[in-house]
Amino acid sequence: MAFTGKYEIESQENYDEFLKLIGIPDDVIEKGRNFRIVTEVEQNGNEFTWSQVYPSKTMTNKFTIDQESEMETMAGKKFKATVTMEGGKITVRFPKYHHTAEISGGKLVECSTASGAKGTVTMKRISKKI
């Protein structure tokens, strides 16, 4: 399937600004800035297992397109959401931000957008297949 694979972050934009906006503490932002984050995706039709592997933990969300699922945020908070897919792009609304993911040119492109008092910030991550 299109998303299945292991991906390593190649570049990211607006990392600090986005994480500050959604309330991640400065020390966590600092530690995470240079992590070699690997995203592992298993896709079986409309069923996904999406894991982000950090040096100290792995965060996994399992979901089925168009069905409500329990998920976890970057900060470890559990919530319920329905993941949708349109034109090959996955979309989900987290409590503090909106997230999209797609495969473009063989790379995983993820955009997370949050709004706050100082405006809207989009963090863009591009990951290469490994």
Please give the C-alpha separations between residue 106 and each of 3, 7, 44, 81, 122, in angstroms, as whole numbers.
9, 10, 18, 27, 22
Q: Looking at the 3D structure of the chain, how many domains does it have? A: 1
Per-residue pLDDT tens digits for 38-83: 999 999 999 999 999 887 788 999 999 999 999 988 777 899 999 9
Structure tokens at 9: 């972050």
Backbone angles phi, psi at 15, to 5 degrees: -60, -60
Structure tokens at 101: 């993911």
DSSP code for 75:
T
List the domain range (segments joined by +) for residue 17: 5-129
Indicate which CATH number applies to the domain containing 101. Answer: 2.40.128.20
pLDDT band at 104 (very low <50, low <70, confident <90, very high): very high
Three-state secondary structure call for residue 46 = coil
Per-residue pLDDT tens digits for 1-15: 699 999 999 999 999
* pTM metric for this prediction: 0.89
